[in-house]
Amino acid sequence: MVRVPVLAAGGIVLRGEETPLIAVVRLRKRSEWVLPKGKLDDGETPRDAAVREVCEETGHDVSVHEFLGTLVYESGGRSKVVHYWRMEAGGEQIYQLMHDAKAVEWLPLDVAVEQLSRAYERAFLAVVGPLALEAAALATRRQKATLPPPAIPVSAPPQADLPSAPTAEHERPFAASDVVGAEMSAGATEFGTAPQFVEADAAAAAAQPEANHTAAAARSRRRNLMQKMRDWLRRAA
């Protein structure tokens, strides 16, 4: 009579250090050091079982990555089939170890291989362990390559104060007050009499009392100018 193999799942669990470390678990039964793994529950997928068993035996939350391979061996007169995934443990231990697990240690790959009690697990880890480390290093490089570069604050260079260009009297900016004191006279052209605007003497304007520059005086001068223009237009007509 053919006996159905026992299905189990586990992980090659890495913890990120300067030298990556691999989890090995010490069982209470016979004090053996083994890779973290366990049997599937009814209706459970191998991947889900692997995560559950690894959390129970290491006390760590883990992230699951590549499938690494299957180990088949005889146990208690039956074949045992164990599927393994590369996993990464995050942070510190947060769960109490299950009763069957006495301790967990994190060791470099070569030390972890020597620590395992069973020859077939030592041979398996010696083969898939380097693949797991290489995959983890590649994933780290890809992650760093996709990270945006740090923002570097850039400040505008200081702007030198530009000196103001000297303004000559005849180049001074136009202002509305410049035309207030303009005198209008009639000049003969081939088309008849045309208006000519002559700017008032600046010195004479400056000599006027300051009171003449009030708003009322300005409005009066504008009215006089408009009246002179109307007078000229009547004469030209």
Domain ranges of the chain: 6-145, 176-236
Tokens 């996709």 belong to residue: 146
Residues 6+ apart with CB under 8 A from 101: 25, 26, 27, 28, 56, 57, 58
Q: Please name every residue paired with 103 in a beta bridge, in sequence order, or none if there are none.
A: 26
Of residues 18 and 83, which shows the higher confidence score? 83
Over residues 180-219, the pLDDT tens digits come to: 333 333 444 433 444 343 333 444 444 455 445 555 665 6
Q: How far apart are the two ends of the chain, measured CA to CA in Å?
A: 134
Q: pTM higher than 0.85 for the full model?
A: no
Number of neighbouring beta carbons within 10 Å of residue 207: 8
Mean pLDDT, all residues of the chain:
77
Tell me the percentage of the chain whose pLDDT exceeds 90. 49
Report the length, in residues, of the chain.
237
Kindly tell me if the per-residue pLDDT of 19 is higher than 90: no
Q: Does domain 6-145 have CATH number 3.40.50.2300?
A: no
Kindly tell me if the per-residue pLDDT of 78 is higher than 60: yes
Kindly tell me if the per-residue pLDDT of 29 is higher than 80: yes
pLDDT at 143: 84
Tell me the percentage of the chain whose pLDDT exceeds 70. 62
Of residues 42 and 154, which shows the higher confidence score? 42
Cβ atoms of 88 and 15 within 8 Å: the answer is yes
pLDDT at 3: 82
Over residues 127-182, the pLDDT tens digits come to: 999 999 999 999 988 988 887 766 666 555 555 555 555 444 444 443 333 333 33
- For 32-41, 85-94, 117-126, which range has the lowest pLDDT when averaged over its residues? 85-94
Among residues 92, 118, 126, 123, the alpha carbon closest in space to that of 29 is found at 118
Please compute the mean of the pLDDT values over residues 205-234 and round it to a whole number. 58
